[in-house]
Amino acid sequence: MTFWLVQELVCRMLRPYSDNIFLRNLLSSNLETIFPMRLLFITDLDNTLVGDDAATIALNERLLADRSQLCITYSTGRSFASARRLIENRQLLEPDYLITGVGTQIHHQETLDPEWADLLSEGWNRETIATLAAAFPALQPQPDTEQNPWKLSFLLEVATPELVLAALERQFAAANLAAQIVFSSGCDVDILPTGANKGNATAYLRQHLGVSSDLTLVCGDSGNDASLFQQPGRGIIVSNAQPELLDWYHSHGQSHHHLADSPYAWGILAGLKHFGLL
């Protein structure tokens, strides 16, 4: 009998009484021990959790059945406002945490995590970066909604983007600026603090919550999800994943990574089953 099965049986026996005020007073702070978080569930949104509405609904139903034991976190390249709109429009489950802007912001409900913000702010000089980038006319700023204090986003639509990016990197190096330049989709340029990515934000959250890596599951479909899979813990790659993530999986994937044979949230459901988490 596995540990989780025993834990599940104990939880099921006690759950009908979990709202009893006398029992709550008696157990006090030990409630967390008796009704523990079973899984830190972290998923990308676009083309992973979202993309096939029937699949999203089926997964939501499954997650709702164990909602009290899950810490649901969405991790996305979208801005906080854009992610909130998607959650509302697609009727996604209300997450416990929201990681947005490719790991540059972590929100618990509406509140920005100040410790993560402080960590990213170390050595980050947004104003100087903005001034240097403004000298490159090929870099067209994306709308204000895509910018945040730890993320500058541009469109770069030229025949030889690598030359522009190399020149920008030289400028940063000459000014001794700590920043990473992320080029994706053939035209999007994000300039971020060096430690900002989905994987590092996940590691921070895991430590912040005191959750072990074997109780952590990440799900994704594209290149900016690769850092999620570079952290310890289980991972699900949906079958509709982009070539760059499939390449990463084929060269770096390990037994705690699962390449699902079905797309979108169907792949997440299949992965949960594969890992015995359902």
Q: Give least dist CB 221 to Mg ion, A.
A: 4
Q: Is 250 exposed, middle or buried (0-12, 13-18, 19+ CB in 10 A)?
A: exposed
- Of 47-55, 149-157, 185-193, 254-262, the segment contacting Mg ion by CB under 5 A is 47-55
Among residues 46 and 66, whose Cβ is nearest to Mg ion? Answer: 46
HSE-up (13 A, CA, CB side) for residue 64: 9
Asked if 52 touches Mg ion (CB under 5 A), the answer is: no
Among residues 222 and 231, whose Cβ is nearest to Mg ion? Answer: 222
What CA–CA distance (Å, rounded) separates 138 from 161?
9
Q: For residue 244, give Cα distances in angstroms to 36, 106, 212, 225, 268.
A: 36, 25, 28, 10, 19
Amino acid found at 240: N
Binding mask 162-201 for Mg ion (x = CB under 5 A): ----------------------------------------
Among residues 11 and 237, whose Cβ is nearest to Mg ion? Answer: 237
Among residues 79 and 222, whose Cβ is nearest to Mg ion? Answer: 222
What CA–CA distance (Å, rounded) separates 219 from 170?
35
Query: What residues have CB less than 8 Å from 246, skipping those under 6 apart?
Result: 237, 259
- Phi and psi angles of residue 184, each rounded to the nearest 5 degrees, phi first: -145, 160
Asked if 221 touches Mg ion (CB under 5 A), the answer is: yes
- Of 13-21, 128-136, 215-223, 269-277, the segment contacting Mg ion by CB under 5 A is 215-223
Among residues 8 and 46, whose Cβ is nearest to Mg ion? Answer: 46
Residue from the set 147, 222, 227, 231 that interacts with Mg ion by CB under 5 A: 222
Count of other CB atoms within 10 angstroms of residue 118 = 9
Query: What residues have CB less than 8 Å from 253, skipping those under 6 apart?
Result: 229, 237, 259
Q: Give least dist CB 104 to Mg ion, A.
A: 16
What CA–CA distance (Å, rounded) separates 227 from 79?
18
* Separation of CA 66 from chain center: 20
Residue from the set 40, 44, 87, 272 that interacts with Mg ion by CB under 5 A: 44
Q: Which of 2, 82, 14, 18 is nearest to 50 (CA)?
A: 82
Q: Give least dist CB 48 to Mg ion, A.
A: 5
- Of 45-53, 108-116, 184-192, 252-260, the segment contacting Mg ion by CB under 5 A is 45-53
Q: Give least dist CB 46 to Mg ion, A.
A: 4
Asked if 227 touches Mg ion (CB under 5 A), the answer is: no
Asked if 46 touches Mg ion (CB under 5 A), the answer is: yes
Asked if 47 touches Mg ion (CB under 5 A), the answer is: yes
The residues that touch Mg ion, with contacts defined as CB under 5 A, are 44, 46-47, 221-222
